[in-house]
């Protein structure tokens, strides 16, 4: 089962607003997929659902894949 959630993150103190999408993936055993952030990343060693920034003109499903 795949559920998409759209979140809007706003940094107070400046004009920056970021839209992000997260996928909640559940298997037939009612287990959820999440990832442990690397100790080298911002907000290290925390669990997170897969997701990505929402870019203008890109649908939510495509925002989930990294395109560096």
Cβ–Cβ under 8 Å, residues 50 and 25: yes
Q: What is the mean pLDDT of the chain?
A: 79
Q: Would you say residue 38 has pLDDT above 70? A: yes
Q: For 45-67, what is the mean pLDDT?
A: 81
pLDDT at residue number 44: 92
Secondary structure (3-state) at 24: strand
In a domain, residue 56? The reply is yes
Task: State the residue range of the domain holding 39.
Answer: 2-63
- Kindly report the backbone phi and psi dihedral angles of residue 29, in degrees, each rounded to the nearest multiple of 5, phi listed first: -95, 15
Q: Over pLDDT 70: what percentage of the chain?
A: 74
Q: What is the total count of domains within the chain? A: 1
In a domain, residue 68? The reply is no
pTM for the whole structure: 0.60
């Amino acid at each position: 089962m795949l559920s998409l959630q759209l979140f809007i993150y706003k940094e107070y103190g400046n004009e920056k607003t970021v839209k992000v999408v997260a996928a909640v993936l559940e298997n037939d055993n009612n287990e959820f997929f999440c990832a442990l952030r690397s100790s080298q990343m911002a907000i290290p060693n925390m669990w997170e659902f897969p997701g990505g920034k929402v870019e203008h003109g890109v649908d939510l499903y495509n925002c989930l894949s990294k395109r560096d």
